[in-house]
Amino acid sequence: MQPIQSGTTTERIVRSTIPTLLVTGFAGAFLWDGYVGYTRDNARQLARTLGREAAAALPPIDRNLSADTAKPLAEQLRIGTPISQVHAALGLPAIEHGEELYYLGSTGHMVVRQAGGAVAQIGWIDGVHSSTDLAVQRWLGYILLPVAVALLINLGRVVKTRTSLTDAGLELPGGRIIPCDTVTALRLDPTAKGEVVEIIYATADGNKKVAKLDAYVVKQFIAIVSALSERANLPNPLTQDAPPTR
């Protein structure tokens, strides 16, 4: 007989792809915002406030600088400290605006106002996205990440679904082979929502088992059912009423 090889249906692939793309996209977006996006947005907001939104590149961001790390630095670089010591402790500012030096962190910035070459005021200012905002985005990403991985694995399984009918018999997804001469009946499943054919076949120990072919899963569903009916010398359940057993 002419072998029939079938993958799964386009509808099934599409229905598996859509949620996979959505969940994976959301997971990636949350993680991006938590680690990169919100930090960059804080920098953009500060640059916009200082009238530098047209700058070609974002100012450098020190990811180790935060409200917690800024507090001891502010105590160390108190009012009257030479600006040279500020540079020694923090490096060059990300932005210098008039008499103010701005050092950017992930969740805000440290501003040093100078006068006469010394610190006149120093402190930390939170950005539009706080550390809590960043943490929430990261946790949402991490929560969705295993779901995205599971969906990707399932999508791979769906795409690789194969059903074939050869001289050896009907090979179902998963590798089970049903020899055609063991098939005793083919009938439509009256309880199924879609078009599903039940295959009743005899096992080596004389018992009967039931396997199913689903039109939603098998792309060449009609061709395989028709060829199996012919090979097993049984009425085609898709074209006429078939007796329950042979």
* Residue 98 belongs to a domain: yes
Residues (pLDDT < 70) of the chain are 1, 53-56, 240-246
pLDDT score recorded for residue 56: 61
**pTM of the model as a whole:** 0.80
pLDDT score recorded for residue 52: 75
* Residue 180 belongs to a domain: yes
pLDDT score recorded for residue 54: 55
CA atoms of 206 and 195, how far apart (whole Å): 28
Domain that holds residue 74: 56-127
pLDDT in tens, 33-65: 999 999 999 999 998 888 876 556 788 899 999
Q: For the chain, how many structural domains are there in total?
A: 2
| Cβ neighbour number for residue 1 with a 10 Å cutoff | 10
**Three-state secondary structure string covering 111-151:** EEEEECCEEEEEEEEECCCCHHHHHHHHHHHHHHHHHHHHH
Residues 121 and 183 in one domain: no
